[in-house]
A and B are shown apart, each in its own frame.
Chain A
Amino acid sequence: MSTSRIDAANLAMVGASPDLTEFLVYLADRPRFWSLRLVAVIVSDGDPDGTVLSRARELGVAVVSTDVRDLQGTPPLGLVIVLSEDVELIRAVKAQVPEGTPRMAGATDEMLTVVSQMARKSHALRADSHRLKETHLRLNQFVETAPLAIYLKDRDLRYKRVNSHALHMLGIREGEILGATDHAIYAKGGARWLQNVERETLNTRETVHASGVLPVQGREIHVQVTLFPVVEDGDVAGLYGLMEDTTDLFVSAQKLHEVDEQLTETQSYLREVLENSRDIILLTDPRGHLLSFNSGAEQSLGYERDDVVGSPAHDLCAQPQAFDDLFAEALLEGHANAYEVEFRNKNTQPVLCNISLTLIESPDGRPLEVVCLCRDITTRLRLKDDLIRSERLAAVGQMASGVAHEINNPLAVIGTIAGLVEEILADEGDRLFPGTHEILDKAMERLHYQVARCQSITHSLLGFVRKTQSGMVEMDLTELLEECLNVLGSEIRGADVKVERHFSTDLPRFRSDPMALQQVFVNLVNNAVDAVQAVPGRASVIEINTARDGDKISVTVEDNGVGIPAGDRERIFDLFHTTKPVGKGTGLGLSIVHDILYRLGGTVRVTSESGEWTRFIVTLPLEPPEEPLPAPSSPSI
């Protein structure tokens, strides 16, 4: 809008015809003319008493004058209406208003219509202008207060305008940035990506979103920008950029990512722990059906995961009802414990466990899962049994060896005297009554036999074994077993027993005490022969197995003889416990076996089915103990 057009609203009325008042009133009554600035010049002849003039003042006419020359002092006029026929006056007007100012003569309806249209236009324009100003103001306000950096660049990417947020963000003063490019603001190359996307915006004339890092005052800020082109008259004149500092967001996202990673790591660690634990860890649903089965469980129980997942956990137990009771307690109380719960492995062998059940609930208290943590204590219990047995043997052995000590001396005296009597009999026996010599000879022979019998007991008791031991040497177990079977050759043949040898071929030579081990195996095989002889009418078989088992060698001696009643199995390694007829066994054999193996760092166990079979399981370490262990059953003699 040009200034001249706006000024056209400045309307001058010249002349004093009676119509003037009427016209003024007409204009004043119509609000649509309110914006017209009226200048009234009332020439004297037309208003001798000044009534029109004062009327005009009442109506708010801006400049009221009776002198045509005052037109010169008014703002530029848009239109001059001359309401006079006076030629002189018309000429005077002509002389006062600038060239080209439209003039009208005679107030007609047509003229008023023109004026009113003009006034309306002017009003609308002013309203537009007002609105624009308002918008402009608000926009400026927005630009200044928005939490966004907003900038305008020209097509050479020089800053034309920036808002205060941008200045704050970039830490720069307005004077430093206006007219400058990014080269001057960011460290070298630091904002290349920004310039690239800005050029893209200029070239494509499209709004572009981008994000990146800007080096600002020695630190890096993460920003997101939206760029849109400024198009003027069909040409790209520059671009607006809206930039948001997302550093905090970025850092949070990064932290979130880290936490997330840690969480994943922890999860997999926990899974690993559960999975690889040597304890049995089972997970069941609230009905007690297995959800998971770790490798500890696989090892202890012998089942594969896929065999059992989905089936009830109590199937693994020897007494399912006991497990169910425990499970019910866990569901009710959240937790339940039990000691020495008997599980059954895949081969139906008992596996004794301490068990702990824990209920896992959802936040609203619904039962989700039950964790069953079971520790296999079978071995520990067995060790405990062994220890108890060893201690018991030690106590009994101590007493027994004390007794044996004291008996040996009188036995020696008896033996000596018996020998003396025999010698006297040999020299002087012919002086006795007939028959007395013979009976005394017989008596002396039995006396010697009984002394020898006592001696075998006391010497066994006193660790006769130990005195004769050959010490630790490299040895071959298979050879040793063959020797033992050789020694027992006549007994084995006499009892008509078939001996099955299942000797492993990959047994290494190892250090042990062959003399002592010979005692062990002769004892065990001898017992086996006795056991099968006690069952007449059955084809007698003794089976000897050897196998390497990690850092141990195991030997089993199994027979299909009378077996050992459950009640006796506990006690067979005890001193003087014998099931053999009087005169047949001393009750020392198995306690010596136990004693020897203990000293060599080995073990012996027995399993049996009464009336059916007996199996002795001997284990020997490939690496013997540095010092043979002190014997628990027969201490110092």
Chain B
Amino acid sequence: MTPADSENIRLLLVDDEEDLVTFLAHRLRKRNMDVATYSNGEDALAEAGTRIFDVAVVDLKMPGMDGITVMEKLKELQPHVEIIMLTGHGNHDTAWEAGRLQAFRYLLKPYDFEELSGFITKAAQKRRSHLKSEFDRRLSELMTGTKSPRDIIEESDRLRHEYEQD
């Protein structure tokens, strides 16, 4: 993993363990990630309503809104976000739920830092390549369509704007 891979990854970190978010965020920022930390789901979702994240690392068991709900709502707000589940309370059901919500990974605490940071980078890459292929597909649909050149230019500008924001 080179620092370049992790640069500017927009990361949302949600865990009720304050010590963990503080020091984990510190280490990830040292890898040039753009980390936002929250100790509860409600605050994290409020933030997600205003800015885009590439990857979210979410603790499963939290007071208030639990991790599964946070994941569901986050996916509704930002369908392209990749989620890594981090928990000290892994069991069959939560693993299954993680699978259902198409979490990128499911990690048990105590985790291995290098492993986690690697997964974050991979998740971000996956998201980018996913978005790129979707953009290309829609662009080629637009090109092969029956629209006027003027419409095509307008539409493609709109698309590019949409995907650049992401």
Q: Could you list which residues of chain A lie within 8 angstroms of chain B, going by C-beta atoms?
A: 405-406, 408-409, 411-417, 419-420, 423, 451, 454-455, 459, 462-464, 466-467, 636-637
A-contact 0/1 string along B21-41, CB 8 Å cutoff: 001101100100000000000
Q: How far is the CA of A412 from the CA of B88 in the complex (A)?
A: 9
A-contact 0/1 string along B82-100, CB 8 Å cutoff: 0000001111110100000
Q: A455-B110, A467-B95 given. 12 additional CB < 8 A pairs? A: A412-B110, A412-B111, A413-B20, A413-B23, A414-B110, A416-B19, A417-B19, A423-B30, A451-B110, A454-B110, A459-B108, A462-B91
Q: How many residues of B contact A (CB 8 A)?
A: 21
CB contacts (< 8 Å) of B108 on chain A: these are 408, 459, 462, 464, 467
Please list 8 pairs of residues, one from A and one from B, whose beta carbons are closer than 8 Å in the complex, sorted by A's number: A413-B17, A414-B110, A415-B112, A416-B23, A459-B108, A463-B91, A467-B90, A637-B91
B163 interface hit (Cβ, 8 Å): no
Q: How far is the CA of A477 from the CA of B110 in the complex (A)?
A: 34
Lowest 5 A-B CB distances belong to which pairs?
A408-B88, A412-B109, A411-B110, A412-B110, A637-B91
Give the number of residue pairs across the A-B interface with Cβ within 8 Å: 64
Judging by beta carbons under 8 Å apart, are B109 and A408 in contact?
Answer: yes
Task: Indicate whether A412 sits within 8 Å of B20 (C-beta atoms), given known contacts A419-B113, A455-B110.
Answer: yes
Judging by beta carbons under 8 Å apart, are B27 and A409 in contact?
Answer: no
Judging by beta carbons under 8 Å apart, are A417 and B91 in contact?
Answer: no
Task: Indicate whether A637 sits within 8 Å of B90 (C-beta atoms), given known contacts A413-B17, A423-B27.
Answer: yes
Residue in chain A with minimal CB distance to B113: A419
Judging by beta carbons under 8 Å apart, are A415 and B113 in contact?
Answer: yes
CB contacts (< 8 Å) of A406 on chain B: these are 88
CB contacts (< 8 Å) of B24 on chain A: these are 416
CB distance from B48 to the nearest CB of A (A): 23
CB distance from B162 to the nearest CB of A (A): 36
Q: How far is the CA of A295 from the CA of B115 in the complex (A)?
A: 65
CB distance from A515 to the nearest CB of B (A): 14
Q: How far is the CA of A454 from the CA of B24 in the complex (A)?
A: 20
CB contacts (< 8 Å) of B112 on chain A: these are 415
Judging by beta carbons under 8 Å apart, are A420 and B88 in contact?
Answer: no
Q: How far is the CA of A451 from the CA of B89 in the complex (A)?
A: 17
CB contacts (< 8 Å) of B110 on chain A: these are 408, 411-412, 414-415, 451, 454-455
Judging by beta carbons under 8 Å apart, are A416 and B90 in contact?
Answer: no
Judging by beta carbons under 8 Å apart, are A409 and B17 in contact?
Answer: yes
Q: How far is the CA of A454 from the CA of B108 in the complex (A)?
A: 13
CB contacts (< 8 Å) of A636 on chain B: these are 91, 93
Judging by beta carbons under 8 Å apart, are A416 and B113 in contact?
Answer: yes
CB contacts (< 8 Å) of B92 on chain A: these are 466-467
What DSSP secondary structure best describes chain A's contact surface?
helix
Residue among B26, B88, B90 with the most chain A CB within 10 A?
B88
CB contacts (< 8 Å) of A454 on chain B: these are 110
Q: How far is the CA of A223 from the CA of B105 in the complex (A)?
A: 101
Judging by beta carbons under 8 Å apart, are A420 and B109 in contact?
Answer: no
Q: Which of B1-22 contact A (CB under 8 A)?
A: 17, 19-20
Q: How far is the CA of A455 from the CA of B111 in the complex (A)?
A: 9
Q: How far is the CA of A238 from the CA of B159 in the complex (A)?
A: 136
Judging by beta carbons under 8 Å apart, are A416 and B88 in contact?
Answer: no
CB distance from A218 to the nearest CB of B (A): 83
Judging by beta carbons under 8 Å apart, are B27 and A420 in contact?
Answer: yes
Q: How far is the CA of A412 from the CA of B23 in the complex (A)?
A: 10
Q: How far is the CA of A236 from the CA of B93 in the complex (A)?
A: 112
Q: How far is the CA of A413 from the CA of B23 in the complex (A)?
A: 8
A-contact 0/1 string along B103-138, CB 8 Å cutoff: 000001111110000000000000000000000000
Residue in chain B with minimal CB distance to A464: B108
Judging by beta carbons under 8 Å apart, are B20 and A416 in contact?
Answer: yes
Q: How far is the CA of A408 from the CA of B24 in the complex (A)?
A: 15
CB distance from A184 to the nearest CB of B (A): 98
Judging by beta carbons under 8 Å apart, are A420 and B90 in contact?
Answer: no
Judging by beta carbons under 8 Å apart, are A409 and B111 in contact?
Answer: no
Judging by beta carbons under 8 Å apart, are B89 and A420 in contact?
Answer: no
Judging by beta carbons under 8 Å apart, are B19 and A413 in contact?
Answer: yes
Q: How far is the CA of A463 from the CA of B95 in the complex (A)?
A: 12
Judging by beta carbons under 8 Å apart, are B27 and A415 in contact?
Answer: no
CB contacts (< 8 Å) of A451 on chain B: these are 110
Partner of A409, one of B30, B88, B91: B88
CB contacts (< 8 Å) of A411 on chain B: these are 109-110
Judging by beta carbons under 8 Å apart, are B20 and A409 in contact?
Answer: yes
CB distance from A533 to the nearest CB of B (A): 31
CB distance from B140 to the nearest CB of A (A): 40
Judging by beta carbons under 8 Å apart, are A420 and B20 in contact?
Answer: no
Residue among B26, B110, B112 with the most chain A CB within 10 A?
B110
CB contacts (< 8 Å) of B88 on chain A: these are 405-406, 408-409, 412
Q: How far is the CA of A420 from the CA of B112 in the complex (A)?
A: 12
CB distance from B121 to the nearest CB of A (A): 16
Judging by beta carbons under 8 Å apart, are A412 and B27 in contact?
Answer: no
CB distance from B93 to the nearest CB of A (A): 8
Residue in chain A with minimal CB distance to B27: A420
CB contacts (< 8 Å) of A467 on chain B: these are 90, 92, 95, 108
Q: How far is the CA of A451 from the CA of B93 in the complex (A)?
A: 26
Q: How far is the CA of A463 from the CA of B23 in the complex (A)?
A: 28
CB contacts (< 8 Å) of A409 on chain B: these are 17, 20, 88, 109
CB contacts (< 8 Å) of A414 on chain B: these are 110
Q: Which of B23-72 contact A (CB under 8 A)?
A: 23-24, 26-27, 30
Q: How far is the CA of A423 from the CA of B109 in the complex (A)?
A: 20
Residue in chain A with minimal CB distance to B17: A409
Judging by beta carbons under 8 Å apart, are B23 and A417 in contact?
Answer: yes
CB contacts (< 8 Å) of B95 on chain A: these are 467
Judging by beta carbons under 8 Å apart, are A412 and B17 in contact?
Answer: yes
Q: How far is the CA of A459 from the CA of B92 in the complex (A)?
A: 14
Task: Indicate whether A420 sits within 8 Å of B23 (C-beta atoms), given known contacts A415-B110, A415-B113.
Answer: yes
CB contacts (< 8 Å) of A464 on chain B: these are 108
Residue in chain A with minimal CB distance to B92: A466
Q: Which of B73-89 contact A (CB under 8 A)?
A: 88-89
CB distance from A435 to the nearest CB of B (A): 26
CB contacts (< 8 Å) of B111 on chain A: these are 412, 415
Q: How far is the CA of A332 from the CA of B95 in the complex (A)?
A: 68
Judging by beta carbons under 8 Å apart, are B26 and A420 in contact?
Answer: yes
Q: How far is the CA of A466 from the CA of B27 in the complex (A)?
A: 31
Q: How far is the CA of A637 from the CA of B92 in the complex (A)?
A: 8
Q: How far is the CA of A411 from the CA of B109 in the complex (A)?
A: 7
CB distance from B12 to the nearest CB of A (A): 17
Q: How far is the CA of A411 from the CA of B20 in the complex (A)?
A: 10
CB contacts (< 8 Å) of B20 on chain A: these are 409, 412-413, 416
Residue in chain B with minimal CB distance to A469: B92
Q: How far is the CA of A409 from the CA of B20 in the complex (A)?
A: 8
CB distance from B15 to the nearest CB of A (A): 9
CB contacts (< 8 Å) of B17 on chain A: these are 409, 412-413
Judging by beta carbons under 8 Å apart, are B27 and A462 in contact?
Answer: no
CB distance from A360 to the nearest CB of B (A): 60
Q: How far is the CA of A416 from the CA of B112 in the complex (A)?
A: 8
CB distance from A471 to the nearest CB of B (A): 12
Residue in chain B with minimal CB distance to A408: B88
CB distance from A63 to the nearest CB of B (A): 145
Task: Indicate whether A405 sits within 8 Å of B27 (C-beta atoms), given known contacts A411-B110, A413-B19, A419-B113.
Answer: no
